Amino acid sequence: MTTKVVKGSLWTLAGQVAPLAVSLVATPFVIRMLGAESYGVLILIGLIPTYLGFADFGMSMASTKFGSEAYAEGDEEKEARIVRTAALIALITSVPVAAGLMIFASPVISLFNVPEALQAEAVTALRIAAVTFVINFLCGIFNTPQLARLRMDLNTFINAGSRILGLIATPIVLYLGYGIIGAVTVLLAASLLNLLGHLVISRSLLPHLFGTAIDKVMPLLMVKYGGGVVAGAIAGLFLINAEKGILSATVSPTALAHYGVAFALAGMVTMFSTAMIQSLIPAFSQLQGNDKRGQLQSIYSRGIRLSLVWVVPAMVVLALIAKPFFTIWAGKEFGEASSWPFYFLLFGLTFNIFTYLPHSILLATGRTDILAKLFWIELFPYVFVVWFLSSRYGASGAAIAWSVRVIGDSIAHYLLVFRLNELALPYKIRTALPVSALAIALPIALLMYKGSVEIVVLLAAAASILVFAFVAYTKVLEQEEINWLFAKIRTRIAS
């Protein structure tokens, strides 16, 4: 199972890296053709539907959990009924929400400080995005047979392929003069292609997929599970995106664009974490029960160790390249305005990366109610803090608020998993955490003080990485992992 999870995660990671590489090339053209203001509106159009991401009633997650359990039981007919049931429930709950978004698009857009000259275009684009929003739910349900079998290679080809085509087409459409509406229409076409791919591939893996019968027993369990997902998702979606909407409303779409560019680079670091989640939820769902607890603890501990090993040097390197990268990639304006928000984001991001493991555990064990309570407890203080800091410090204030929240959220996740699932944070990790924190904080703090990458900053970064590498070798990694690593290096050198 560990091998399948790691292999599946690497496939998912590859599926995120490939579109990212295309995005790094395409986005500068999009920014320059639209300008900072219109680009901020485009981000906003993609952002608004995410606030309604609970509209599928948690069926994409429920389909993955219960479909994986049915697959583990060897009951493919039940698995197919679960997928169809989840799709039906998702349509019943999401279509009315999308219709409401289309009807009230104009007043919704007016809430976000969109310039008058762009409002009509933004309203039409939001209506198109509402259709995409429903299709994306179905994509997240009909890929269940792939996830249950940990066939992340197939899932990756479909998701990455459609996304890459959309990224390539977007600057072409903008060049032809179709503006924000054209860019959003490209996303709709990419989503339709994505859904078609999942239907074809999942049907080949699960011959019973197409049919009219739904499961008569599972809906109640799925709705109960989904209810917890929805309760948490309503708060969670605002937690994830609140600072973006508030920043646009209290400052401007331009400030949102500056923050969005910083957040995009920070999000690159989470790719491995999100890749692991997609493999871990079906894997953890199949490892429930006391007889499998040892295997569950093993995967949990190994995931934490592997994450720590790459996170520390990644944070330091990203801090060093941020300002020159923003300047070259998006222009001088973004090089100046996006760097400081990015530095503040890194502190929270370090903690956020590790949250995917306990989060996956709670979802796989069905404790969506606990996640819902946690997110609602966090929401209202966070909204106030975001409003207070964003209105005074702009994009940097939003970044500080986000980091403070995710640090607290990460600590809470680990405490909950320890209390509810009796899965402990490995002792070696606990002893290495202080050195890891200093290795990240010292060069970033020095860089913020100096304002540019000077020789003293580079020396501090190199020293921090070397000290951490020694700690990782002696305190974090298991001997079998070290042997495996050196064996891989020797193989690469020999070839």
Q: Can you tell me the distance from the alpha carbon of 449 to that of 464, in angstroms, rounded to the nearest whole number?
A: 17
Residues 135 and 276 grouped into a single domain? no
Residues 257 and 212 grouped into a single domain? no
Residue where the block lists tokens 């590498």:
469
Residue 155: φ, ψ to 5°? -60, -40
Residues 206 and 349 grouped into a single domain? no
* Within-domain flag for 242: no
**Range with the lowest mean pLDDT among 176-185, 218-227, 342-351?**
218-227
Mean pLDDT taken over the chain:
83
Q: Can you tell me the distance from the alpha carbon of 94 to that of 97, in angstroms, rounded to the nearest whole number?
A: 5
Q: Can you tell me the distance from the alpha carbon of 469 to that of 425, in angstroms, rounded to the nearest whole number?
A: 20
Q: Which carries the bigger pLDDT value, residue 247 or residue 228?
A: 247
Residue where the block lists tokens 């390197």:
317
Residues 328-348: tens digit of each pLDDT: 887 888 888 888 899 899 888
Q: DSSP assignment, residue 367? A: -
Token pair listed for 332: 């001088």
Check residue 482 and give its pLDDT. 73
Which of 128-142, 326-340, 414-428, 464-478 is predicted most confidently? Answer: 128-142
Check residue 4 and give its pLDDT. 66
* Within-domain flag for 240: no
> 181 to each of 25, 169, 303, how far by Cα in Å?
21, 13, 42
Q: Which long-range contacts (CB under 8 A, 24 or more apart) does 185-191 make?
A: 185/128, 187/46, 187/129, 187/132, 188/128, 188/129, 188/131, 188/132, 188/135, 190/162, 190/163, 190/165, 190/166, 191/132, 191/135, 191/136, 191/139, 191/162
**Range with the lowest mean pLDDT among 181-195, 322-336, 471-485?**
471-485
**Range with the lowest mean pLDDT among 85-89, 267-271, 344-348, 377-381?**
267-271
**Range with the lowest mean pLDDT among 175-189, 216-230, 317-331, 475-489?**
475-489
Check residue 164 and give its pLDDT. 92
* Within-domain flag for 47: yes
Check residue 1 and give its pLDDT. 57
Residues 193 and 290 grouped into a single domain? no
Q: Which domain holds residue 70?
A: 1-216
Residue where the block lists tokens 């900072």:
36
Which of 3-12, 65-74, 200-209, 350-359 is predicted most confidently? Answer: 200-209
Is pLDDT at 13 greater than 80 in this prediction? no
When pLDDT is cut at 50, 70 and 90, the band that residue 136 belongs to is very high
Of the residues 171, 193, 216, the one at which a domain ends: 216
Token pair listed for 24: 């790094």
Cβ proximity of 150 and 8 under 8 Å:
yes
When pLDDT is cut at 50, 70 and 90, the band that residue 261 belongs to is confident
**Range with the lowest mean pLDDT among 82-86, 241-245, 261-265?**
241-245
Residues 169 and 260 grouped into a single domain? no
* Within-domain flag for 230: no
Total domains in the chain come to 2
Q: Is 286 left (phi over 0), alpha (psi -120 to 50) or beta?
A: alpha
* Interval 458-472 mean pLDDT: 85
